[in-house]
Amino acid sequence: MNPILEIKNVSKYFFDPKKNITEAIDKLAFDIEENSFVTLVGPSGCGKSTILRCICGLMEPTDGEVLFKNRKIIAPRKEITLIFQEYSDSLLPWKSVLMNVTFVMKGKTDKNTKIEKAKEILEKVGLEGFEDHYTWQLSGGMQQRLAIARALAYEAPILLMDEPFASVDAQTRTSLENEMLSIWKKFNKTILFVTHDIDEAIYLSERVLVLSKRPSRVLKDINIELDYPRHHIRTRENKVFLEYKRLIYDLLQ
């Protein structure tokens, strides 16, 4: 099977006004298969967000290239959606939950069809009954679900997620992690997820790519051989889970 995304020896350097160089990424290389769930885990400041911006076309690599279905990405593409950590910034507070979703729908579909489809998506992400609320009336976890619903409504096959659960409480985070796995299965998405949380990386993923400190490179590509569906207690108590956790922790040290 050909990968849907190929990151080929990507490097990214930043230059300050005095021409000093900051190396964020160093010859990063990995592939992403279609419909897979892959997580990047690494220390804070290692360039994880920069990697996502290079992949989605918001930022041009200094060296190397990113390919989507064998075609070089040189600008943002409609097939790739990036969900930022500060997800609330992408929501429209003057529009209802329902209208936030219909706003991003493509094509010339009539209004009633868009509304019905938006309601279906909102139900699947757990926001049924909140269609007429405004975003500022939602909890942080519900706002995150709305950001995900908008990404699903846009119908991009690839979701890039930049530490999307970092700013919610632990209980909400648990719920959102399970919701994310459900959405991945229901909608057949390809997900590249970024986190610095080792447990979260293992729990969600089929593969975990462990990144070095800046300039970022792949230290190890780990296949997570744990069955789905996963359980927040039983999966984390699994001996194999603990072995993965120990391995990743040692690599990051």
Angle separating helix axes 170-187 and 111-124, nearest 10 degrees? 130
CA 156 – CA 179 distance, rounded (Å): 18
Does residue 193 lie within any of the structural domains?
A: yes
Q: Residue 139: its pLDDT value, please?
A: 86
Does residue 203 lie within any of the structural domains?
A: yes
Helices (H), 39-169: 48-56, 97-102, 111-124, 140-154
Q: Which pLDDT band holds residue 153 (cuts at 50, 70, 90)?
A: confident
Residue 35 CA, distance from chain mean position = 13
Q: Residue 160: its pLDDT value, please?
A: 94
Does residue 49 lie within any of the structural domains?
A: yes
Does residue 131 lie within any of the structural domains?
A: no
pLDDT in tens, 221-251: 999 999 999 999 999 999 999 999 999 999 9
Residue 126 has pLDDT above 90, yes or no: no
Does residue 128 lie within any of the structural domains?
A: no
**Strand, helix or coil at 72?**
strand
pLDDT in tens, 27-42: 999 999 999 999 999 9
Does residue 65 lie within any of the structural domains?
A: yes
Angle separating helix axes 140-154 and 111-124, nearest 10 degrees? 130
Residue type, 184: W
Task: Give the start-end residues of each E strand in 139-230.
Answer: 158-162, 190-195, 207-211, 218-223
Tokens found for residue 243: 């072995």
**Residue 182: C-alpha distances to residues 7, 174, 232 (Å):** 27, 13, 14
Residue 1 CA, distance from chain mean position = 22
Residue 156 CA, distance from chain mean position = 12
Q: Residue 133: its pLDDT value, please?
A: 96
Counting the structural domains of the chain, the total is: 1
Q: What would the mean pLDDT of 114-121 be, rounded to a whole number?
A: 89
Residue 182 or residue 72, greater confidence: 72
Tell me, what CATH number does 245's domain have? Answer: 3.40.50.300
Does residue 114 lie within any of the structural domains?
A: no
Tokens found for residue 74: 């040189």
Q: Which domain holds residue 57?
A: 1-79+157-163+189-253
Tokens found for residue 181: 């796995």
Sheet holding 158-162, edge to edge: 80-83, 158-162, 190-195, 37-41, 207-211, 218-223
Tokens 């099977």 belong to: 1
